[in-house]
Structure 1
Amino acid sequence: MPKTQRKWNTTDITDQSGRTAVVTGANSGIGLVTADALARAGAHVVLAVRDVRRGEAAAATVRGAKGSVEVRRLDLADLASVREFAAGWQGDLDLLVNNAGVMNIPEASTKDGFEMQFGTNHLGHFALTNLLLPHITDRVVTVASGAHRFPAGMHIHFDNLNLTGEYAPMVAYGQSKLANLLFTLDLQRRLTEAGSRVRALAAHPGWAATNLQGHDASVVRRVAMRVGNRVLAQDDKAGALPTLYAATQDLPGASYVGPDGLGEMRGAPTLVGRSRAASDPESARRLWTASEELTGVTFPRLAEASRTTDA
């Protein structure tokens, strides 16, 4: 019998000593697992969280790490907070993991008046990435979702991004996750055209049992999610593997990583496909323009140090 090949896991993460990473939403779930794994591999990891007290409690659980952790406040639903976080950054940043997000919540708005899921999951990370980009030396990994394939997330509602008067939790979530992939696509295009060696990648966790599903606007869906978490889902440690794979392996820009199991719901990390809508460069450009107009944040002029060619 041929020997079964061992599948990739956290023991395969290369030494991260000397590297600095920011992980948004790292106080629980796959964000905390991601931060913990990177710190154990030697990185200095900043837990960028809305609630610093909860962030400090989460940081205290990262024990025995070769690297180190710290906590900084970041509220992605408030562009002033995003700007403050970015303005306070000094020095190089090797890795930015855009992990934080909300899912299928009741209708709500960010402090800047955007629909909460689109504003947090996409616009907050769009602004954060562009503001930090002059510091980033290696890659940006944005956590998307298989929900971008659902009928509810099949297109961007360019004429009504806030879904005013037609809000539905799953439509808003699907749109925000499709936006994550289109953002990654156009970010990589812009980095390439700028001659930067920084890479933009995306990952999705499959069905991972975390507290994200506990805020669903529908009681029926919350119950279904609870059952699914027990029967079908993988745990948050397995759910974080695609993010960690995208964050540490030598992959081409614009790569998308997910689980290798049936329906990409669980399994070891591997390169996966995206929907046709998530592969449309024209939609990606249009979303980028709309995002710049909404946030007031544009693609930065990159330092020579991040370019592939010498001055």
Structure 2
Amino acid sequence: MRISAIVIAGAALTLGLAACGSDGGASGDVKIGMSVSTLNNPYFVQLRDGAQAEASRLGVQLTVTDAQNDASQQVNQVQNFTSQAMKAIIINPVDSDAAAPAVKAADRSSIPVVAADRGINGAEVTQTVASDNVSGGKQAAQELAKQLGGKGVVVVLQGTPGTSASRDRGQGFADGIKAYPGIQVVAKQPADFDRAKGLDVMTNLLQSHPNITGVFAENDEMALGAIKALGGKAGSQVKVVGFDGTPDGLKAVEAGTMAATVAQQPRLLGQQALDAAVRAAKGEGVDKTVAVPVKVATKENAAQFQTS
């Protein structure tokens, strides 16, 4: 009888431990898929790193894919996540319009989708977590106007057409610069958020508008390309304002070749997107939108953004 009692007690203890293990390991059963627009951009590497760090902290399985700035490739990646029955999907869209059908397919399979850094047009997502890009664009306009003393000739390097980030930053800048009638915007041209394209586009713009005194680039990569094209003019004759607050961008600000950058918090964006995806996967409520604040980084305060 004593042996039977011990066996029964042991079995009960084993069941209890199994139950505890099941509850404690519930997060480990949560599989999240994340499609990033491109990992060829330091900003999105930080976005991914933030998501991965949060996944490790929460003990969930995160699969990250690189869409390589190819909208059709990204659609395939999201469709694969859906067929693999991921518990939630995070998408940092290459194209806010092109991503919609894949998002709708995930929704039909009852898989929550979180949009990170850029919104989705024409499809419902569980949450959009992004920087306040319109506000950032306005801040960029105000800072460039301040650097130019309220007058000058400006060009805008636009991001990838079809992305909400480019649209919102451009709109914010256009609204903000209206307050400065002494500043003339003579050209707007896409350079697809790419440093090499930023160099090429800026080189061409300098030929058609040699009197440029200011540049607003909708991300730091394009700003850095523009600075290379400007050579010795960057920081002295021509003021360049970027957007993102990447490590290279902040170094350029500290060096004086870039006048300022609107600093985002990509790691925090990735972390919050992953956190929302896990909560949605577990059936918990999440806010429809989360706007992560941005702040202008200048030579005076750039150091404080280097570790963010």
Q: Give the TM-score taking structure 2 as reference length.
A: 0.36
Query: Greater share of strand residues, 1 or 2?
Result: 2
Q: Give the TM-score taking structure 1 as reference length.
A: 0.36
Q: Which has more radius of gyration?
A: 2
